[in-house]
Chain A
Amino acid sequence: MSLNDFIQAAFFLVAVLLTVKPFGTYMARIYEGSPAGLNVWLAPVERGFYRLCGVKPEEGMSWKTYAFAMILFNILGVLVVYAFQRLQAALPLNPMAMPAVSPDSSFNTAVSFASNTNWQGYGGESTMSYLTQMSALVVQNFVSAATGMAILVAIIRGFIQKQMNTIGNFWVDMVRTVLYILIPLSIVFALALSWQGIPQTFSKSAAATYLQTEKDSNGKPVTEQDIALGPVASQISIKQLGSNGGGFYNVNSAHPFENPTPLSNFLEMLAIFLIPIGLCYTFGYMVRDRRQGWAIIAAMFIIFLPCLWFGIQIEQQGNPLLAKLGVDQSATAFQPGGNMEGKEARFGIANSAIWAVTTTAIANGSVNSMHDSYMPLSGMIPLWLIQIGEVDFGGVGCGLYGMLGFIIVAVFIAGLMIGRTPEYLGKKIEAFEMKMASLVAVIPHLFILIPTAIAVLTVAGKAGISNPGPHGFSEILYAFSSAAGNNGSAFGGINANTVFYNVMTAISMLFGRYWLAIPMLAIAGSLSAKKIIPTTQGTLPTHTPLFIIFLVMVVLVIGALVFFPALALGPIVEHLMLK
Chain B
Amino acid sequence: MLFAQLRPAIVSFILFTVLTGVLYPLLVTGIAQTAFHKRAEGSLIVSADGKILGSSLIGQNFDDPKYFWGRISATSPAYNASSSSGSNLGPSNPALLDEVKGRISALKAADPGNNDPIPVDLVTSSGSGLDPHISLAAARYQLARVARVRGLSADAVQQIIDQNTQGRLLGILGEPVVNVLQVNLALDQYKK
Q: How far is the CA of A431 from the CA of B179 in the complex (A)?
A: 62
- A187 in contact with B91 given A139-B21, A212-B62, A322-B120 (CB within 8 Å): no
A336 within 8 A of B: yes
Complex interface: chain A residues within 8 A of B137 (CB): 328, 332, 334-335
- A142 in contact with B20 given A7-B172, A342-B125 (CB within 8 Å): yes
Complex interface: chain A residues within 8 A of B8 (CB): 53-55, 69, 171
Question: Which of B41, B59, B88, B128 makes the CB contact (< 8 A) with A373?
Answer: B88
A167 within 8 A of B: no
For residues 121 through 142 of chain B, which have their beta carbon under 8 Å from a beta carbon of chain A? 121, 123-138, 140
Complex interface: chain A residues within 8 A of B16 (CB): 139, 142-143, 174, 178
Complex interface: chain A residues within 8 A of B28 (CB): 187, 190-191, 194, 200, 231, 233-234
Q: How far is the CA of A250 from the CA of B129 in the complex (A)?
A: 11
Whether B88 and A80, one on each chain, are in contact in the complex, defined by CB atoms closer than 8 angstroms, is no
For residues 143 through 175 of chain B, which have their beta carbon under 8 Å from a beta carbon of chain A? 166, 168-169, 172-175
For residues 65 through 103 of chain A, which have their beta carbon under 8 Å from a beta carbon of chain B? 65, 68-69, 72-73, 76-77, 80
A52 within 8 A of B: yes
Would you give the shortest CB distance from B175 to chain A, in whole angstroms? 4
Complex interface: chain A residues within 8 A of B76 (CB): 216-217
A256 within 8 A of B: yes
Question: Which of B17, B90, B91 makes the CB contact (< 8 A) with A135?
Answer: B17
Whether A52 and B15, one on each chain, are in contact in the complex, defined by CB atoms closer than 8 angstroms, is yes
Instruction: Say whether chain A's binding surface is mostly helix, strand, loop, or mixed.
Output: mixed
- A492 in contact with B61 given A369-B127, A370-B127 (CB within 8 Å): no
B109 within 8 A of A: no
Complex interface: chain B residues within 8 A of A202 (CB): 29
Interface residues in A, total, Cβ within 8 A: 136
Instruction: Say whether chain B's binding surface is mostly helix, strand, loop, or mixed.
Output: mixed
B48 within 8 A of A: no
- Write the A158-187 contact mask toward B (1 if CB under 8 angstroms, else 0): 000000000000010011001100110011
A338 within 8 A of B: yes
Whether A175 and B12, one on each chain, are in contact in the complex, defined by CB atoms closer than 8 angstroms, is yes
Would you give the shortest CB distance from A307 to chain B, in whole angstroms? 19
Residue numbers of B with Cβ under 8 A of A are 1-2, 5-13, 15-17, 19-22, 24-25, 27-29, 31-33, 35-36, 39-45, 51-55, 57-64, 67, 71, 76-94, 96-97, 100-101, 104, 117-121, 123-138, 140, 166, 168-169, 172-177, 181, 184-185, 188
Top 9 nearest A-B pairs (CB, nearest first) are A262-B174, A493-B88, A254-B127, A135-B21, A335-B137, A471-B90, A348-B175, A335-B135, A370-B86
Not counting A201-B42, A335-B120, a sample of 20 additional A-B residue pairs whose C-beta atoms are within 8 angstroms of each other reads: A55-B8, A134-B21, A138-B21, A139-B17, A139-B20, A139-B21, A205-B82, A214-B78, A217-B76, A225-B81, A228-B81, A233-B40, A254-B84, A262-B174, A318-B120, A335-B136, A335-B175, A336-B121, A344-B131, A373-B87
